[in-house]
Amino acid sequence: MKKCLNISLIYAIAGLLGGVFYREFSKMNGFDGVTALGKVHTHLLLLGMIVFLITALFCAHFKSLPEHKSFKSFMVVYNIGVPMTAVMLAVRGVTEVLKTELTRGANAVISGISGLSHIILAVGIILLIVSLKGAAKSEDAK
């Protein structure tokens, strides 16, 4: 549980810093439109902080949850997917704010890595649900 709370705190700080960066970077560059950079803040807070706060509650309820193999896999996979998603949103957002003309290839690379990061997130979510089912089954067997 403590590990989940610590990870949640890290994502909260990163999310808040992402929001400050978005606001200040946009203001500094005179940009007032919608950009992917504005989504970094919410992705880190929701997919990072909130998910790990909820996971900490599940760890408190299901004492065996952290011992499940799928939960350990979730921790690794999901903590790769969330930062990767945030970084790619930041990359896309910075290019939008700076009005950088991307080549077709560069645009495809950003989109491809973003898509891959979302797939990694989906695998992480599935691993979490599988581990929760396993923990619930272990509790029912007692």
For residue range 8-54, list pLDDT tens digits in order: 999 999 999 999 999 999 999 999 999 999 999 999 999 999 999 99
Classify residue 69: in a domain, yes or no: yes
SS3 99: coil
**What pLDDT shows up at residue 142?**
63
Classify residue 73: in a domain, yes or no: yes
Give the chain's domain count.
1
Classify residue 86: in a domain, yes or no: yes
Classify residue 12: in a domain, yes or no: yes
Classify residue 30: in a domain, yes or no: yes
44-48's contacts with Cβ under 8 Å and 24+ in sequence apart are 44/11, 44/14, 44/15, 44/18, 44/82, 44/86, 45/11, 45/12, 45/15, 45/16, 47/11, 47/82, 47/85, 47/121, 48/7, 48/8, 48/10, 48/11, 48/12, 48/14, 48/15, 48/82
For residue range 82-117, list pLDDT tens digits in order: 999 999 999 999 999 999 999 999 999 999 999 999
Classify residue 142: in a domain, yes or no: no
Q: Please give the residue range of the domain that contains residue 63.
A: 2-137
Classify residue 65: in a domain, yes or no: yes
